[in-house]
Amino acid sequence: NNFASVSQESCIACGACNSAAPEIFDLDDNGIAEVIYGGDSNRGITAIAKELLEELQEAIESCPTNCIQLSAVPFA
């Protein structure tokens, strides 16, 4: 499971994902998170390197609204 995407309608802009995994998540001007890894633009189509999967898991666990989706296959 190494494809990730933020369900932005559920993101409350807490920033925890960006703190846990800054190479994967960034916050837009409104503080809403997006997957930036590899230029993904939150499409969930860029496989995240296995060296970063631990950080990714920490980000997922740190999100208070569970809005980071994980998949074994690309989202689109």
Burial class (CB in 10 A: 0-12, 13-18, 19+), 39: exposed
CB of 65 to ligand F3S, least distance (A): 5
**Exactly one of 6, 35, 36, 48 binds ligand F3S (CB under 6 A); which one?**
6
What is the CA 52 to chain-centroid distance, rounded? 11
30-69 positions binding ligand F3S, by CB under 6 A = 33, 62-65, 67-68
16 binds ligand F3S (CB under 6 A): yes
CB of 76 to ligand F3S, least distance (A): 19
What stretches of the chain show up as alpha helix (H) in DSSP? 16-20, 53-62
Q: Which residues bind ligand F3S (CB under 6 A)?
A: 6, 11-17, 33, 62-65, 67-68
